[in-house]
Chain A
Amino acid sequence: MSLASRALRRRTVRQPPLFGWRGLVVYTSLLILMGAALYMIFIYAPAERVQGDAHRLLYGHVAVAWLAFLAFGIVALASVMYLWRRNPRWDSLAVASAEVGVLFTTLTLASGSIWGRHVWGVWWTWDPRLTTTLVLWFIYVAYLALRMYIDNVDTRRRVAAIFGIVGVVDVPIVWYSVEWWRSLHPVQSVTRAGLTLEMVLTLVVTVVAFTVFCFVLIRQRYLLERASDEGEGLRDIVRNRHDELRLAGAGSAPEAGE
């Protein structure tokens, strides 16, 4: 079949899922960065005046929240690029970032909830910042769900790209929610926070470490998506082949009965 041979001639995704020496370099630096962040969060940063050690959740919480925003920004960017270029690689990048973004939003909500239980006294409240963040989580869970739903590959990618672009509108709403509306959640303000140099350095190292982690996750998920796309295409060809064989062999095949 010409369709099958064309698919077979298509280049396979050959990048290793971060094994080999490149993987060694990436994972080693990731571990070193994470170790440094852990040391700085738990030992180097001073205890906070009111919250004591509980304030150390700030570093991780802020880092994962920023990376969730970044990941959804990448979804929107990759979706725009997909609609423009129609290259499925952009679509794969969008899925990968969306899933990682949902993961980081989950972490933001979870770490915030634990921190809130200690400082505010409640696990959850319908504060504008919390509510809009939860809505953001649902938007991209819906994005991922939508993709499983549409069977036609081109329709799926196009609809998902539009959804991915529209969904990112919630990111600035989350960001400015604490300034636009009365909120329990404190505003994010490096100048007003009165952080000491140690605290700022800890935050920077933590953000860098989690950013590297985030990019590694997006890359792995991207490679998985590329492989899945290839597999999906091949599977259809194999299915067609099976049908052909069954039709051809229906009259003559000795093993037709199962």
Chain B
Amino acid sequence: MTQELVFLFIGYAVIWVLLFGYLVFVTGRIRGVRDAVRDMRQELDAQRRQPSE
């Protein structure tokens, strides 16, 4: 009885932890990548306003 419950909880814990972990990871990465994109855009904008030549 207790052993089957242990297997049951481990099984679902693995599913939940991986799913939520992935969701948090990906959502966090979106912000990071968008920040990087914004920085690059600003840099390019600045260069466009003051052409080097």
- Residues 1-26 of chain B: 1 if any A CB is under 8 Å from the residue's CB, otherwise 0? 10111011011101100110011001
Q: Which of A216, A230, A245, A248 contacts B37 (CB 8 A)?
A: A230
With contact pairs A57-B7, A216-B23 given, residues A4 and B44 touching in the complex (Cβ less than 8 Å)? yes
- Prevailing SS type, chain A contact patch: helix
Interface residues on B, range: 20 to 34
| Surface stretch bound by B, among A127-135, A147-155, A161-169, A217-225 | A217-225
Q: How far apart are B14's CB and chain A's nearest CB, in angstroms?
A: 5
* B contacts with A: majority SS: helix
Q: Is the CB of A248 within 8 A of B52?
A: yes
Contacts of A114 in B (CB 8 A): 7, 10-11, 14
Tell me if A110 and B14 are in contact (CB < 8 A): yes
Q: B30 and A103: CB pair below 8 A?
A: no
Minimum CB distance partner of B4 in chain A: A54
B12-A60 in contact (CB<8A): yes
Q: Which residues of B contact A228 (CB under 8 A)?
A: 33
CA A41 to CA B15, docked complex, whole Å: 14
Say yes or no: A17 contacts B36, CB within 8 Å: no
Across the interface, A8 reaches (CB within 8 A) one of B11, B30, B41, B53, namely B41
Known: A12-B37, A117-B7, A231-B36. A103 touches B19 (CB 8 A): yes
Task: Say yes or no: A60-B11 contact (C-beta < 8 A), given A220-B23, A238-B40.
Answer: yes
Are A245 and B52 neighbours in the complex by a CB distance under 8 Å?
Answer: yes
Contact partners of B11 in chain A: CB under 8 A: 57, 60-61, 110-111, 114-115
Residues of A within 8 A of B (CB): 4-5, 7-8, 12-13, 17-18, 41, 51-54, 56-57, 60-61, 64, 100, 103, 106-107, 110-111, 114-115, 117-118, 213, 216-217, 220-221, 223-224, 227-228, 230-231, 234-235, 237-238, 241, 244-245, 248-249
